[in-house]
Amino acid sequence: MARAFGLVGAALLAERDRWALWLPVALATGIGIYFALPSEPSTAISCALGLAGIVVAVAAGLSPESFVRALLALVAAIMIGFGDAKLRTEMVAAPVLTHRVGPIGMDGQVIFAQVHNKGIRAVFRLISFDFDDGYAMPKSVRVSFRVGGELLVPGATAHFKAVLMPPPAPASPGDYDFGRAAWFEGLGAVGYAYGAPTLVAGPPSHGFFERIADGIEHLRWHMTERIHAVLPGSTGAIASAIITGDRGGISEDDESALRDAGLAHVLAIAGLHMALVGLGLFWAIRAGLALVPSIALTQPIKKWAAVAALCGAAFYLVISGAQAATTRAFIMLAMMLLAIMFDRPAISMRSLALAAAIILLMRPESLIEPGFQMSFAAVTGLVAVAEWEQRRARETDGIPMRFASLRRYMWGITVTSFVGSIATMPFAAFHFDRATHYAVLGNLGAMPIMGFVTMPAAAIAVILMPFGLDAAPLHVMGWGIDAMLGVGRWVSHLPGAVSIVPAWPVASLVLLSAGGLWVAFWRARWRWLGLVPAAVGIALVFLGHAPDVLIARDGRTIAFRGADGLLRFARPPADNYSAAEWLKRDGDGRAVDAAMATPANNIRCDPYGCIAQARNGAKVAAVTRLDALGEDCTNAALVISVIPTRGACIGPKRVIDRFDVARNGPYAVWVGDKIEVETVQDFRGDRPWSRAPKKRAGSE
C-alpha cells in the first residue's frame, strides 16, 4: 500500500501544473449533485455549504502542503458548486402555471421574437394577466402567433388573447426536461394566441440592465430582419444563425442535412465562428498596419490588433445571444489575446478550464444542457490532441515537406472533425439518440467554404450594415451557405450516414465523461487508466433493460414492447409527439404509423379497450370503458385505465388509472414477477420546476 501510494504521489507531483484543470470538474460535481437530488435542499443548508466552501478555499490557500492544498481546493469547489446552483435557482424563481388556462387576455412587453414554423414565436414580459384564480402572474411567457406576429418588435408592448399551459414535462422518464430549462429562463407558461396581437402603449423597461438587454435584443432583431430581407428562406435563416444566433426559420430538411453530415456546429456559434471573427480581425488589422512603415516600425501593432480583435469578438458575443458555447469560445479567445497584449504565453487547457469555471459559476444550469456538454467535450479533445501535436512537431522540426501549409490545413480539418465527432458522440447519443458517421468527409468539404467565403463575407456585412452597404457581402455569404448545404445534402444521403441509437443511461454519460477527462488532462502513461471507467460506461449501455410498456401524459397513448423487442402502439396515438419521442429514444427509426400493432403482435383491441401480452407472457389490459373493468381486473397482471378505478380494481399486481397519470406524468413499466414502474415525476423529483402533486386518499 505504501509503495502504491508513493507511486501515485510521484505521478501527481510530476504533473502538478495540471492540477488546476480539475477545479471546474469539482465545481461541476457539486452542481451535478444538486440537480440529481430527489427533493429540493433547504436554502439555509445550501447557503451554509457554499459559505463553508469559501472558508475551505481560504484554508487551502494557507496550507503549506501541496497535496493538502489540492485536496481542500477540490472539496471547496464541490461545496461552492452546490451552493451556487441553489443560489441560482432561488435568484431566477418566478411563478409557474400548474394547469391550462384561457383563452384569456394579457398585456406584455416583447423580449424576444423569431420566425417559427408558419408564424412568429415571441417571449413576453407580462404586465397584466386577466386571470384571477389564486395563481400568481408568470414573470414571462412564450406564445406562438399564426397571424400578426410581424408587429412584435423587441421592446414593443402588445395586448393579445392566448391559451397558456405549464411548460411541458418530459415525454418519458429520462427524456429532455423543458420545464427545468424554462424555469431557469424565467418562463412561467407557454401557449398559442387567438388572433393577431394589438400594439398598445406600455411602461418603459425598468432598471439599467433591463434596458441594456432590451436594446441588445432590438439590435439583434433589426440585424436579423435585414439579413432575411436580403437572403429570404432557409439560406437567410442560416445566415441569421451564424451572425445573430437566431435559428428560427431554418427548414427541417436543411437542418437535418447539416446535422446528419456532421455540420450541426455551423449553426451553433462557438469556437469556429469566434476564432474566424476574432483572429480574422487580428490578422486583417495587423496586416493593414504593417503596410505603414512609420507605424509598423515604431508602434506595437500586434498589441493594437489584439485589442481590436478583442473588441470585435466582444461585439459578436453580444449580438449572438451569449450562449454557453459562445461564451466559452470568447473567454478562450480573450485569454489568448490578453496574453499577446501582456507578452505572456497562452495555455490553452487552462483557458478552457477557466472558461468552464466562469460559465458554471454564472449559469450552473448549463452543466445539464447539451450545448455546454458537447461544446466542452469537443474542445477538450481538440486541445488535448493539439498539445500532443505540438510535442510531435518539436520532434519532427526541420524535416522538409512539400505543400506543407496545405497539408497542415487539410490535416487540421481532418483531425478536428474526427476528434470532435468522437468526443461529442456520447452526448449526441444521450441527448439526441443519433450518431453521424461521415463528419470528417462533411467537414473536409464544408470548412474551407466556411473559412474563406461564408465567415469573411459575414464579417464584412456586419461592418457595412450601419451604412446600408451590406447587400453584396450578404449575397456572397448566401452563396457560401448554399455551397455548404450542397455538401451537407450529399454527405447526409450517403449510405449509413446516420444511425438512430437507443437512449443512454445517465451513469454511462458520467463514466465516459470522467474517463475522457482523465485521458485528456494528464500527460503521463497513467492517463490511459481513464479507459477503464469509459469501458464500464459503454458496458452499461448494453446492460440496460428497456421498459415493456410506456404510457403518455394523456393516459390513452400506450406502447407495448413485443417479443421482438420493438415498441408498438395499440391504437393510433393521440399524443403524436410522445409517440415519436418514444421511438427515437428506443433507437427505432420507424415512423409512428409504421409502428401500429396487429393481432400477430399479441395485441387485440375492441371498443372496450386493448389486451396485450408482455414479453414474459403476462397479460396487460388497457381499459377505455367501465364495462370492461371487472373482467380485465380479474384476468390481467397490469391494468391501465382511462377511467377512474377508485380502488375498485384489486385483482391485478398493478393498476394505473387516469388520476395516477395526471398526478405523476408519463409512466415507464417493467412487467415481470414483480411489476416495476418509473414515472416522470419520480425522475424529476420534488423540485421548484416540478413540484410533487398531493397524493389522493387511499393511494399507494
Question: What is the per-residue pLDDT across 15-52, written as a single tens digit (0 to 9) for each?
Answer: 888 888 999 999 999 999 999 998 899 899 999 999 99
Cell of 560: 407495448
For the segment 251-275, the average pLDDT, to the nearest whole number, is: 83
- Selection from 202, 194, 209 nearest residue 164 by Cα: 194
Cell of 274: 469566434
pLDDT at 399: 52
- In contact, 81 and 358? CB cutoff 8 Å: no
463 & 521 share domain:
no
630 & 591 share domain:
yes
283 & 379 share domain:
yes
125 & 159 share domain:
yes
3-state SS, residue 644: coil
pLDDT above 70 (res 396): no
Widest Cα–Cα separation across the chain: 97
Residue ranges making up the domain that contains 527: 506-543
- What CATH number is attached to the domain comprising 175? 2.40.50
- Quick check: is 113 in a domain? yes
- Quick check: is 109 in a domain? yes
512 & 494 share domain:
no
Kindly report the number of other CB atoms within 10 A of residue 298's CB atom: 8
pLDDT at 699: 44
- CA dihedral 366→370→371→373, nearest 10 degrees, is 70
488 & 512 share domain:
no
pLDDT at 111: 85
How big is the chain by its Cα radius of gyration, in Å?
A: 28
What is d(CA 113, CA 217) in angstroms, rounded to the nearest whole number? 9
Q: Is 594 exposed, middle or buried (0-12, 13-18, 19+ CB in 10 A)?
A: exposed
Identify the domain boundary among 443, 474, 500: 500
What is d(CA 9, CA 34) in angstroms, rounded to the nearest whole number? 31
Cell of 241: 444563425
- Quick check: is 212 in a domain? no
- Let me know how many helices (H) and strands (E) the chain has, helices first: 24, 17
Q: How confident is the model at residue 392 (pLDDT cuts 50, 70, 90)?
A: low
For the segment 161-173, the average pLDDT, to the nearest whole number, is: 89
Catalogue the E-assigned strands of 542-679: 549-551, 558-561, 567-569, 603-606, 609-613, 619-623, 638-641, 654-657, 667-670, 676-679
DSSP 686: B
pLDDT above 50 (res 596): yes
280 & 336 share domain:
yes
Identify the domain boundary among 91, 115, 130: 91
For residue 405, the Cα-to-chain-centroid distance in whole angstroms is 36
- What share of the chain in percent tops pLDDT 70? 94
Distances in whole angstroms, Cα of residue 373 to Cα of each of 324, 428, 509: 10, 10, 10
Q: How confident is the model at residue 168 (pLDDT cuts 50, 70, 90)?
A: confident
List 187's β-bridge partners, or say none: 140
352 & 376 share domain:
yes
pLDDT above 80 (res 209): no
- Say if strands 638-641 and 157-165 run parallel, antiparallel, or are unpaired: unpaired
Strands of the 609-613 sheet, one edge to the other: 603-606, 609-613, 619-623, 638-641, 654-657
For the chain, what is the domain count?
5
pLDDT above 60 (res 695): no
pLDDT at 611: 83
pLDDT at 404: 64
- Look at the alpha carbons of 442, 448, 451, 452 in this order and tell me if their dihedral is positive or negative: negative
pLDDT in tens, 174-192: 888 888 988 998 888 899 9
pLDDT at 31: 95
152 & 70 share domain:
no
3-state SS, residue 680: helix
- In contact, 78 and 357? CB cutoff 8 Å: no
- Quick check: is 126 in a domain? yes
Identify the domain boundary among 518, 543, 568: 543
Q: How confident is the model at residue 73 (pLDDT cuts 50, 70, 90)?
A: very high
- Selection from 213, 186, 10, 224 nearest residue 91 by Cα: 186
Q: Cβ contacts of residue 435 below 8 Å, gap of 6+?
A: 425, 428, 429, 498, 499, 501
Q: How confident is the model at residue 345 (pLDDT cuts 50, 70, 90)?
A: low
pLDDT above 80 (res 135): no
pLDDT in tens, 618-647: 888 888 877 777 777 777 888 888 878 776
- Say if strands 119-129 and 140-145 run parallel, antiparallel, or are unpaired: antiparallel
Q: Is 213 exposed, middle or buried (0-12, 13-18, 19+ CB in 10 A)?
A: middle
What is d(CA 669, CA 551) in angstroms, rounded to the nearest whole number? 8
What is d(CA 581, CA 575) in angstroms, rounded to the nearest whole number? 10
- Quick check: is 264 in a domain? yes
pLDDT above 50 (res 697): no
- Quick check: is 417 in a domain? yes
256 & 343 share domain:
yes
Q: How confident is the model at residue 220 (pLDDT cuts 50, 70, 90)?
A: confident
DSSP 450: I
pLDDT at 401: 54
Distances in whole angstroms, Cα of residue 188 to Cα of each of 139, 146, 213, 284, 666: 6, 21, 20, 46, 21
Higher-pLDDT residue of 56 and 636 is 56
- Say if strands 638-641 and 654-657 run parallel, antiparallel, or are unpaired: parallel
pLDDT above 70 (res 405): no
- Quick check: is 612 in a domain? yes
Long-range contacts of 248-256 (CB under 8 A, 24+ apart): 248/114, 248/115, 248/116, 248/121, 249/114, 249/115, 249/116, 254/485, 254/488, 256/492
For the segment 164-182, the average pLDDT, to the nearest whole number, is: 88
- Quick check: is 585 in a domain? yes
292 & 178 share domain:
no
pLDDT above 60 (res 362): yes
3-state SS, residue 114: strand
What value, to the nearest 5°, has the Cα angle with vertex 253 and ends 248 and 256? 85
pLDDT at 397: 55
475 & 595 share domain:
no
- What share of the chain in percent tops pLDDT 90? 16
Q: Is 667 exposed, middle or buried (0-12, 13-18, 19+ CB in 10 A)?
A: buried
Q: Average pLDDT over the chain, rounded to whole?
A: 84
